[in-house]
Amino acid sequence: MELLLSDILWAAGMGLLGAVLFAAIGLVSGTDETTTIAPLTLLVVLLGVPPAGVFTFFLASAVAKHMTHAVPTALLGIPGDTMAIPLMQQAGVLRNLGVPHIALRKMVSGAIIAAFVSVPLAVLFAVLLAPFGPAITKAAPWIFVAAAVIIAYFSAGRWASVVALFPFVLVIVALQGLTAKFGVKLSISYFLGIAIGPLVADLFSVLSPVDRKRIARDKVRSFALAPDVKSWGGYFPNPFKVLDASQLRWTLGTAAISSATFVFSPVAMTVLLGEVVGSRVRHVYHRMTTVLTARNGVTESTYIAEALIPLIAFGLPLSPVAAGPAAPLFNAPPRFTVDAATGQVNNLHNLMTSWEFLGYGLLAVVLAALVSYPFAMNYARSAAALVARRLSHEAIIATFSGLILVIGVWEGGLMGLLVILAIGLVGGLLYRTLGFNTGVQFMGYYTAVLTVPALTKLLGV
């Protein structure tokens, strides 16, 4: 009993910390989920926080961030993070109509409702899939390579991404061989390299006289910050009143669907389900607001499901979210490990029951909702103005350069740093030129660590 109470206190404390931290980070554009949530979750794991605290921290962070990312997206027309990019077009139209606060409120309300729906559904789907767990764990190397090919085909690069998997996996295998010679084994450095790739590639472009012409600008970017209109009393507006009946139905429906489809890219799911909703709404204004509501709901539900289902059912990171931002929940040596050779896992999958995942999952959503939702509803405009006027992009890049250095040196000294740079440059350029996106690259990493050893064993080489 005392143990349970202490677990709950840890979960509540860590969840609140994650929610507050990431409600603030969500306001800053360019703070991609993998580069922010993954290192901090890793830190929480390594500091020895109990499993319930680790899990609640991760989930509350993701849910809080996907509510406040709507603030820069709606008010300034800058995507809050990667998941906010599919929201840009509709948010832009409503901003030009002079009603960005409507866009914001619809998005945040969609998010909170979808998050609450998604946790129990994701746990349910995981429990239904769990009986296949042992079989899937056994076949993991082959399932990962199949998932990598499917995710690659559905990326913007299509067949180019599928074929690019081969050289990309080869580069990772080669780098692992190289670092092994020095007795260094890396994992988070690869994730960070992949996630930060677009920045690394852009920094190389700055240095190159050939590519610098492409990125040169003659004037600063101009943003119009629209006025805010508050049309409710009190501090905590009712999300069910912000949405109309059909928007509520679409949010619930798309949240339910995206809670089941856990192997696809979360950005692709957000785009796709938004298109489905958009094709069913006839009036253009109603279409814009409904698509925004449903899409931001999907940014929550798809994240929750993609982290929860593989974690509960298999313990293997079998989705782009699980392989990327949620990676430290699966693999954070020496505490959490996935053994490539035997498929043996030792992580939150073994340390928590389905009921605990459900309970702490709902706790995380409640905490994120209590922090992020009223904040985004009440202080959106002043927060967006503060970030846009005070926080230079140079400062953001300085922070992430420091992050690359600290994580790289922490994990593998100079070797870690070189791996982040190499993977970042290769991955970032492939993303920019071929549309070989980060989700595919994460799966490529798992193909290298799980499939390649199994393949060499099978071939007896």
Partner 1 sequence: MKTGQLIEVWGDTVDSVHLGWAMAIGCAISLGAFLLANHILAGLVAAPEMARAYSMLVGLAGCLVSGAVCARLFPPKREVIDRAADPAWRETLMAELRSEPGGFGRLADLPAPTVAELKEMGLYDLFAAEEAAQDAGRDAGGRKAALHGVPSPSPDALRSEPAARGARA
Site for partner 1 in 228-287 (CB under 8 A): 231, 244-246, 267, 271, 278-279, 281-287
- Residue 30 is a binding residue for partner 1 (CB under 8 A): yes
Q: Which of 227, 233, 234, 460 binds partner 1 (CB under 8 A)?
A: 227
> Minimum distance from CB of 76 to partner 1 (Å)?
8
129 or 409: whose CB is closer to partner 1?
A: 409
Tokens of 295: 């899409």
- Residue 414 is a binding residue for partner 1 (CB under 8 A): no
Is the Cα torsion angle 188, 193, 199, 200 positive or negative in sign?
positive
Residues in contact with partner 1, counted by CB under 8 A, come to a total of: 86
Q: In 3D, which of 132, 86, 137, 126 has the Cα closest to residue 107?
A: 86
Q: Which of 340, 409, 429, 455 binds partner 1 (CB under 8 A)?
A: 409
The DSSP symbol for 332 reads B
197 or 317: whose CB is closer to partner 1?
A: 197
Tokens of 195: 């996630």
CA dihedral 279, 304, 37, 311 (to 10 degrees): -140
User: Residue 154 and residue 264: Cα distance in Å, rounded?
Assistant: 8
User: Residue 420 and residue 8: Cα distance in Å, rounded?
Assistant: 37
- Residue 212 is a binding residue for partner 1 (CB under 8 A): yes
Q: Which residues ranging from 50 to 79 are in contact with partner 1 (CB under 8 A)? A: 76-79
Is the Cα torsion angle 450, 153, 201, 394 positive or negative in sign?
negative
> Minimum distance from CB of 385 to partner 1 (Å)?
7
With contacts defined by CB under 8 A, name the span among 40-48, 135-143, 167-175, 370-378 that binds partner 1.
Answer: 40-48
Q: Which residues ranging from 101 to 160 are in contact with partner 1 (CB under 8 A)? A: 102, 156
The maximal CA–CA distance of the chain, rounded, in angstroms, is: 70
Those residues whose C-beta lies under 8 Å from the C-beta of residue 381, and which sit 6 or more positions away, are 75, 101, 225, 227, 228
Q: Which residues ranging from 368 to 397 are in contact with partner 1 (CB under 8 A)? A: 385, 388-397
225 or 370: whose CB is closer to partner 1?
A: 225
Q: Which of 219, 353, 459, 460 binds partner 1 (CB under 8 A)?
A: 219
Q: Which of 206, 341, 414, 458 binds partner 1 (CB under 8 A)?
A: 206
Q: Which residues ranging from 346 to 365 are in contact with partner 1 (CB under 8 A)? A: none
User: What are the angstrom distances between the C-alpha of 65 and each of 59, 136, 205, 373?
Assistant: 10, 32, 30, 10
User: Residue 240 and residue 442: Cα distance in Å, rounded?
Assistant: 37
- Residue 337 is a binding residue for partner 1 (CB under 8 A): no
- Residue 405 is a binding residue for partner 1 (CB under 8 A): yes
181 or 283: whose CB is closer to partner 1?
A: 283
- Residue 334 is a binding residue for partner 1 (CB under 8 A): yes
Contact 168, 444 (CB under 8 A): yes
315 or 412: whose CB is closer to partner 1?
A: 412
Contact 31, 69 (CB under 8 A): no
Q: Which of 159, 177, 181, 217 binds partner 1 (CB under 8 A)?
A: 217
- Residue 425 is a binding residue for partner 1 (CB under 8 A): no
Q: What are phi and psi of 332, to 5 degrees?
A: -145, 75
Q: Which residues ranging from 287 to 316 are in contact with partner 1 (CB under 8 A)? A: 287, 289
Q: In 3D, which of 292, 375, 421, 438 has the Cα closest to residue 25?
A: 375
203 or 351: whose CB is closer to partner 1?
A: 203
> Minimum distance from CB of 274 to partner 1 (Å)?
12
Q: Which of 15, 39, 317, 343 binds partner 1 (CB under 8 A)?
A: 39
Helix (H) or strand (E) holding 337: strand 337-338
Contact 60, 366 (CB under 8 A): no
> Minimum distance from CB of 290 to partner 1 (Å)?
9
> Minimum distance from CB of 92 to partner 1 (Å)?
4
Contact 169, 458 (CB under 8 A): no
